[in-house]
Structure 1
Amino acid sequence: MVKRVLMIAYHFPPYTGGSGIQRTLKFSEYLPQSGWQPIVLTASACAYRRDGAPADAVAAHVTLRRSFALDSARHLALRGRYPALLALPDRWISWWLSAVPAGLALIRRHRPDVIWSSYPIATAHLIGLTLHRLSGLPWIADQRDPMSDDGYPADPRTRRLHRWIEAKILAHSASMVCTTPGAVRAYRARFPLLGQERFSLIENGYDEADFAAAPAAARDGGRFRLLHSGAVYPSERDPSALFAALARLRGEGVLGPDNFQLVLRASGHDAHLRALAGAGGVAELVELAPPLPYRAALAEMQAADGLLLLQAANCNAQIPAKLYEYLRAGRPLLALTDPAGDSAAALRRCGIDTIGKLDSASDIAHALTRFLSLARQGRAPLASAAAVALHSRQARSIELAALLERVGRKEET
């Protein structure tokens, strides 16, 4: 007997602004293989700020409903300003007004067994909570990132509201799903009275079908191209120490424009990074490249001489989604992160030890020199095929299906 899950997610095609859509998109694609039919409730396309790249295709078997939503910063602002209440808990709170009646209509028509909502955006969880309370269906809250932390979100009112939503999740949901072991530990520490079974771990992953459709182009054999694919957040992936290390190695004659190039693809902060590279004297070593369609970005990963991961210590309980795609790309990987964080631990479990500290120019210079030597000799550590396969989107969908079954059985009893 086929069961149904109502999936509430803001990040879904035609949104193309980042890798966040891949989690819900691939769950909706692969869950039917485990006996679960997805019903996706997402925001209307006008809510998205598109980057011009083609949108990912949605599987034909997915029942899809878009409900009206506005972005307060774009649609409700006057001369660039809008009331703060229109951005609590986020700028898409208007989505709640249309999504609740749309969700109730979907529940009446399709009779799902479980509700699933994904953060970010926080409004998705408010929709999930409301539909759970109105319908009585069990609810799973998917936390792709931590919703609150010390000093995060920066605005105190938003932080208080996010903490209220977290408390409601843990009071009413059947399970909170986290994407990293550190996030699970953090939530268990904050809510010690709840049973450990209330928290589940389903990591991010890569999709084999996307890689099969994105064969690597031939490498040019010239300069060593070290690629970072995706956003470079100034507060979480600050490359200042990296640029200082590049300047040091250039001064020592180790690196130059003729033998090395750092490619920052789709950084989202090109102006800031251009100024930073210029001030550091490494502009000739750094290329700021525009976004690519998703599969083209995967092809570029597979063609790079090396792949770069950036993650600051303030994100130790997070793992960038691109890490799993990097592993599948099968290219030498340099991680600049805190050795005590989840990203470093995930790489070490795969046998990858080319790791340096993001906040230390001297440590980066040493790690980068070693990495380049190993990569050029073909001796850089790579994850085994068996280790990589554990992180496929199909494997993650099997994990989610098992959780849906447990939640559904518990509700029946």
Structure 2
Amino acid sequence: MPQRAVLMIAFHYPPMRGSSGVQRTLKFSQYLPALNWQPVVLTAHPRAYGNPGDDQLGEIPSSVLVCRAFALDAARHLSWRGRYPGWLALPDRWVSWLIGALPAALMLVRQHRPQVIWSTYPIATAHLIGYALHRLTGLPWIADLRDPMTDEGYPEHPLTRRCYLWIERLTVEHCTLAVCTTPGAVQAYRQRFPALPPTRFRLIENGYDEENFAEAAATAAPPAKDSGRPLVLLHSGVIYPSERDPAPMLDALRALHERDAISAATLRVVLRATGHDASIKPLIAARGLQEIVVLAPHLPYRAALAEMLSADGLLILQAANCNHQVPAKLYEYLRAGRPILALTDAAGDTATTLRAAGIDTIAPLDDRAGIEDGLLRFLPLLGNGNAPLADKAALAAHSRQARSVALAALLNEVISAR
């Protein structure tokens, strides 16, 4: 079968780092060529990234053409003394990407004749580019929504929310297919847009990459068995002040510390690359937890995976207002094969995914007493090696290769229908 081309519009792509969205597009671009789809990637100029790095540039296949279009970050490039007009950041701080991306996309269409357009959130401008290109070329368009673009109270700013609602409706009403990463998100969109056919909304979850884990395992030290050291509980990745508010957890840790149930000699909580250290550090200090809770800087991707493999336990935070979302990091946690403590709503998709993998160490994120109980149950299980681990038989379905097969099937479906 001759190979077909797909134009992938993605802001998150190497050398950007520090976002799970990078892995989703990068791995699709790695594995689609073996499935008779040749990706052509349209992304942003590296100047638009606040924290670029070359640690994953080598994973971009040499056969994949990457076009890096003009883009600026309004907060860094268009501000004066740290301030800039709000309209420069509608729908997001990188809306200038539209200026460079649209002519670049039209050039790519002329040169490479893609059969399908694919755009991915969470940068809303990506879907604006996808919509404009779809209208200009008539090509079928798959919109990778991932998580819901809007929800009750999100975005908080009224003007930003109106803008997001407009882009969301524009996207789901004009795209050929809309892809979400959780069953809850698919159901939410079907209920929100009942006039559209339910088959418009499809599911391709996030996942883990086996090759990356094999490379990380070569450098990872196994969890130490020294009974005289503290247990290490790791949270790897961004902690959003609202969606992953750490304050109740810190309150629970302080209460347990005051009761001598934990100490710096028995527990060390590492918060790696939170993205909000400036706001979390005072919360830790106010509770006197500096010797127990540690803020740690960003690590290159493989080093971060190696740290997961070496930790005693892994920590997930996800608020009830994100019940239709699953942190992409969770799939890497499952593959790491380490015990997981999830502070999340038991009714949400995150908890459902964990229970399906055989993990029931779950406590509510917003309930200090519930977190105390969860820790008092989890830590002894962690210490004696009896904490539940992910069912290995279920892991293969969460691989990035399996997700790429699912995307290739959708691309084939769109072409066949056309």
Q: TM-score range by the shorter chain?
A: over 0.9
Q: Distance in 1 between matches of 2:281 and 2:84?
A: 30
TM-fit CA distance, 1:301: 0.2
Secondary structure, aligned partner of 1:386: helix
Q: Paired residue for 2:294, among 277, 282, 287? A: 287
Q: Distance in 2 between matches of 1:164 and 1:270?
A: 33
TM-fit CA distance, 1:388: 1.1
TM-fit CA distance, 1:52: 5.3
1:77 maps to which residue?
79
| Bigger Cα displacement from structure 2, 21-30 vs 144-153 | 144-153
Q: Is the 8 A contact 2:18 2:298 kept in 1?
A: no
CA deviation string 1:221-245 (max 9, x = no partner): 3210000001111111111111111
TM-fit CA distance, 1:56: 3.8
**Does residue 155 of structure 1 match 2:157?**
yes
Q: Is the 8 A contact 2:75 2:82 kept in 1?
A: yes
Q: Paired residue for 2:335, among 319, 323, 328? A: 328
Amino acid at match of 2:290: A
Secondary structure, aligned partner of 2:249: helix
Identity %: 60
**Does residue 218 of structure 1 match 2:225?**
no
2:27 maps to which residue?
26
CA deviation string 1:286-324 (max 9, x = no partner): 011111000000000000000000001111111101000
**Does residue 352 of structure 1 match 2:359?**
yes
1:5 maps to which residue?
6
CA deviation string 1:361-398 (max 9, x = no partner): 11111111111111222211111222111100000000
**Does residue 248 of structure 1 match 2:255?**
yes
Q: Paired residue for 1:339, among 346, 358, 377? A: 346
TM-fit CA distance, 1:403: 0.5
TM-fit CA distance, 1:217: 1.2
After superposition, residues 31-70 of structure 1 pair within 5 angstroms as 31-50=32-51, 54-57=55-58, 58-70=60-72
Q: Is the 8 A contact 1:17 1:49 kept in 2?
A: no
Amino acid at match of 1:278: A
Q: Distance in 2 between matches of 1:370 and 1:56?
A: 42
Secondary structure, aligned partner of 2:79: coil
Q: Is the 8 A contact 1:236 1:312 kept in 2?
A: yes
TM-fit CA distance, 1:51: 5.4
TM-fit CA distance, 1:145: 2.4
TM-fit CA distance, 1:194: 1.0
1:169 maps to which residue?
171
CA deviation string 1:65-95 (max 9, x = no partner): 1111111111111222222221111111111
| Bigger Cα displacement from structure 2, 152-161 vs 94-103 | 152-161
Gap runs ≥5 in structure 1 = none
CA deviation string 1:251-280 (max 9, x = no partner): 222211111100000111112222111212
Q: Is the 8 A contact 2:14 2:54 kept in 1?
A: no
Gap runs ≥5 in structure 2 = none
Amino acid at match of 2:17: T
| Bigger Cα displacement from structure 2, 242-251 vs 63-72 | 242-251
Secondary structure, aligned partner of 1:347: helix
Q: Paired residue for 2:321, among 314, 329, 343? A: 314
2:125 maps to which residue?
123
Specify whether residues 52 and 99 from structure 1 end up closer, same or farther in structure 2 by C-alpha distance, changes over 3 A only.
closer
What's the TM-score once normalised by structure 1's chain length? Answer: 0.97
1:88 maps to which residue?
90
Amino acid at match of 1:29: Q
TM-fit CA distance, 1:53: 6.7
CA deviation string 1:35-71 (max 9, x = no partner): 1100000011111112557344211121111111111
User: Aligned pair count?
Assistant: 411
1:377 maps to which residue?
384
- Runs of 4 or more above 6 Å deviation: none
Secondary structure, aligned partner of 1:340: coil
Q: Is the 8 A contact 2:15 2:54 kept in 1?
A: no
Secondary structure, aligned partner of 1:227: strand
1:303 maps to which residue?
310
Q: Is the 8 A contact 2:46 2:52 kept in 1?
A: no
TM-fit CA distance, 1:250: 1.6
Secondary structure, aligned partner of 1:39: strand
| Bigger Cα displacement from structure 2, 296-305 vs 142-151 | 142-151
Q: Paired residue for 2:147, among 140, 145, 170? A: 145
Secondary structure, aligned partner of 1:108: helix
Q: Is the 8 A contact 2:14 2:53 kept in 1?
A: no
**Does residue 399 of structure 1 match 2:406?**
yes
Secondary structure, aligned partner of 2:172: helix
Amino acid at match of 1:182: G
Amino acid at match of 1:256: S
Q: Aligned-pair RMSD on alpha carbons? A: 1.2
TM-fit CA distance, 1:19: 2.0
TM-fit CA distance, 1:159: 1.1
Q: Distance in 2 between matches of 1:181 and 1:348?
A: 15
